[in-house]
A and B are shown apart, each in its own frame.
Chain A
């Protein structure tokens, strides 16, 4: 599963670090570091964190998206 955090929007509420501790961590008081690609076993953590983010800064793969559609040359 792929994810990205819009860190312009992130305000360091750290809800993600509580709900997805294996994926999200605070670095210092306010900087968020996270794993952009995670295995299926962490999917629930990521979805819970994305749902709980007060500013909606966590974007994840939409349901059923393919990685790339068709690669040519």
Chain B
């Protein structure tokens, strides 16, 4: 580790990850100049409420600002997008032409909503995406105006939460999903079926296995109907395009960093790779835009669009950019997220998409109250709960210790004897291979390390 002084830290991306990194830098004792650059004009705000409280009309779209645990004594350049990065000159270029020099850079530019592909249709009044507080304000206003029908394109978590808010407000809603069930990409077909039942029980007109082929406007340029791939024509005043997110890496094109549509590749210490695959020592990444290997999940590069991931990686990056190389900590946070829809609290821990089998270990799918555990080549890899969140910490321990699958434990609320794992039915299952086992040990962040057990010869 060189004795280089770190006087200037620049954070590009002034949302959740940027904010938490700024706090952590000051907590770690950084006293130099700290600059946060963000393309949105508002101070950092929380996004999860935008598809829940805000659409239910309980909270104004511009009233989800994030708290600051401490003063960060930073210079904020909000409403100004970063447009380029000069690695050699250690400078960030901004849209207004100015240049911001740094000794250490954290990139936390996140994602944006994937827009409707047809630009003319996307411009129709009543067609929108949901990512920013401004988006949420527009959608909430449209829902206040009591539309005849809302069309939600895509039944991922955002789309499903929007549909849930519509039903709770008594608004007719159609959900069009290309896959066989809602949430199927994240949770697989078995849990997807439970999600589909939940939607239909709450009056959602759920149509799976169809795509929206075109959106049609009236003479005034307002959305009036949608055409589906099965030939159906649907009358709707509002269409919310919920087709996932695109990573904000365009500004790094040509910079020399390993940045692309799948995010910015980094090592487990949050250090960005350059396009040679060599870890930089001065550029760090955190949050939705990052992509880094996780020892517990076969060293696969995970990009996680999770709230908790942004918080954890921000703290980790802040620590690792200031400390000596021997004191760096690895990214060992176990992926976790939640969703609230149709009155049910859905929580996940681990990486369900790696699961090849799934088994209900508590409760029952048909009661909308259960824990389902995912197995990957004989070990527990993830767990998903519907209104059973209190148990997930137990399953986190099983994941961290590479516990055998199907899990064997006595307890309350167990399904009937003879319940066996079934295929998890992910649309595009990975092809796993035999490998070594990795487990996690330690409690404090500084002592969390992995134990590596080689595969038997």
Contacts and interface: CB of A to CB of B under 8 A. Distances in A.
Interface of A: 1-4, 6-8, 10-12, 27-31, 33-37, 59-62, 64-73
Contacts of A60: 67
A14 B422 CA distance: 35
Interface stretch (B57-65, B175-183, B244-252): B57-65
B77 A73 contact: yes
B46 A4 contact: yes
Given A11-B390, A62-B68, A72-B77, A37 B63 contact: yes
A4 B53 CA distance: 13
Contacts of B67: 1-4, 59-62, 65
Nearest to A60: B67
Contacts, number: 113
A73 to B, nearest CB: 6
Given A4-B67, A37-B59, A69-B74, 5 more contacts: A4-B66, A37-B63, A62-B71, A69-B73, A71-B77
Given A12-B390, A69-B71, A33 B76 contact: no
Interface string B116-150: 00000000000000000000000000000000000
A39 to B, nearest CB: 11
Contacts of B387: 28-30
Contact of B389 (A2, A30, A69, A71): A30
B43 A67 contact: yes
A35 B64 CA distance: 8
Given A72-B76, A73-B98, A8 B71 contact: no
Contacts of B344: 28, 30-31
B52 A33 contact: yes
Nearest to A29: B387
B113 to A, nearest CB: 21
Interface of B: 43, 45-46, 48-49, 52-53, 56, 58-59, 63-80, 96, 98, 307-308, 311, 336-338, 340, 343-345, 347, 387-390
B338 A7 contact: yes
A12 B63 contact: no
Contact of B307 (A8, A27, A36, A59): A8
Contact of B70 (A1, A2, A3, A62): A62
A2 B296 CA distance: 35
A13 to B, nearest CB: 8
B61 to A, nearest CB: 11
B20 to A, nearest CB: 10
Contacts of A28: 340, 343-345, 387
Contacts of A61: 67-69
Contacts of A34: 53
A2 B68 CA distance: 8
17 contacts: A4-B46, A10-B389, A28-B345, A29-B343, A30-B388, A31-B344, A33-B53, A36-B49, A37-B59, A37-B63, A62-B70, A65-B70, A67-B43, A72-B75, A72-B76, A73-B79, A73-B96
